[in-house]
Amino acid sequence: GGTPEEQAFQKRIDDGIKIEPKDWMPEGYRKTLVRQIGQHAHSEVVGQLPEGNWITRAPTLERKAILLAKVQDEAGHGLYLYCAAETLGVSRDEMTEQLLAGKSKYSSIFNYPTLSWADIGAIGWLVDGAAIMNQVQLQRCSYGPYSRAMIRICKEESFHQRQGFDILRVLCQGSDEQKEMAQDAMNRWWWPSLMMFGPSDKDSVHTAQSMRWGIKQATNDDLRQKFVDQTVPQADWLGLKVPDPELKWNEDKGGYDFGEPDWNEFFNVVKGNGPCNKERLEARRKAWDDGAWFRDGLMAHAEKKRAAKVA
């Protein structure tokens, strides 16, 4: 159905041809992308905060250098993504204002605190591992700028995931106290990591249309399953216990059965009531306000240069 324009648009998507910024697109497609890419960009930027918390306390100089590089990568990812969203006619300032007004979301996962050094390992291994599982399919997104941003971001995320795994590898081979730290981090980050994939398919309002438009290539539940199947053997290798009594290999489906995440907790965190929501938004607001003089200076400089050129 739909207008001839909409039909031609859908045919392009079905044929696997990328949509580029100047191409015609339905308003719903544009809005969905602005929402998703905007949320994704905010997640990268807010995601710097829990890890930034440990830069000054990393256990060795080498770990500190790695963590610094990783957190800087996240800032870069935020910038590519804001640029990709800007091609859809929304400015970075507008997106930031929506975030600060609580109108645009960012990933639920970044509203949990980082209580120990092992949490930095768990974030890299589980959180970035979940992020990659989701982002690998987004590399094939029908919208060109988002797809290309994802290709680059996935390469860097793979390094993030491995550095996290390596932190936990060292802890798991260490003293009893270090092993306990690693297990405690696993216990706290496992369920929130599964929630990153979004609500179960029956409660996911956007998935069906986003898949028809080729924005998403897989459902939330399918990606969550793939993540569990990939991660459980890694936990076994580390000697960490997955905190899910229902976890069980299912020979018939060739994957694990696992318990249901606490969706009340998920929706509550998304609504703004997680352990760190207020702190995270406050930090972003302060950064935005503190940077106002710098943005003003850049604008004044650009204006001066433009005037000089005209003269």
Residues in the site for ligand ACO, rule: CB under 6 A?
A: 35-36, 39-40, 43-44, 47, 105, 107-108, 128, 131, 134, 195-199, 204-207, 210, 216, 220, 270
Cβ proximity to ligand ACO: between 210 and 225 the closer is 210
Which pair of structure tokens corresponds to residue 190?
A: 């496992």
Cβ proximity to ligand ACO: between 31 and 248 the closer is 31
Instruction: Please give the backbone phi and psi of residue 70, each rounded to the nearest 5 degrees, phi first.
Output: -65, -45
Cβ proximity to ligand ACO: between 139 and 187 the closer is 139
Residue bearing tokens 């890419």: 37
* Minimum distance of ligand ACO from residue 239's CB (angstroms): 26
* Minimum distance of ligand ACO from residue 123's CB (angstroms): 9
* Minimum distance of ligand ACO from residue 79's CB (angstroms): 13
Cβ proximity to ligand ACO: between 128 and 244 the closer is 128
Cβ proximity to ligand ACO: between 87 and 178 the closer is 87
* Minimum distance of ligand ACO from residue 224's CB (angstroms): 10
**Residue 311 CB: number of other CB atoms within 10 A?**
5
* Minimum distance of ligand ACO from residue 105's CB (angstroms): 4
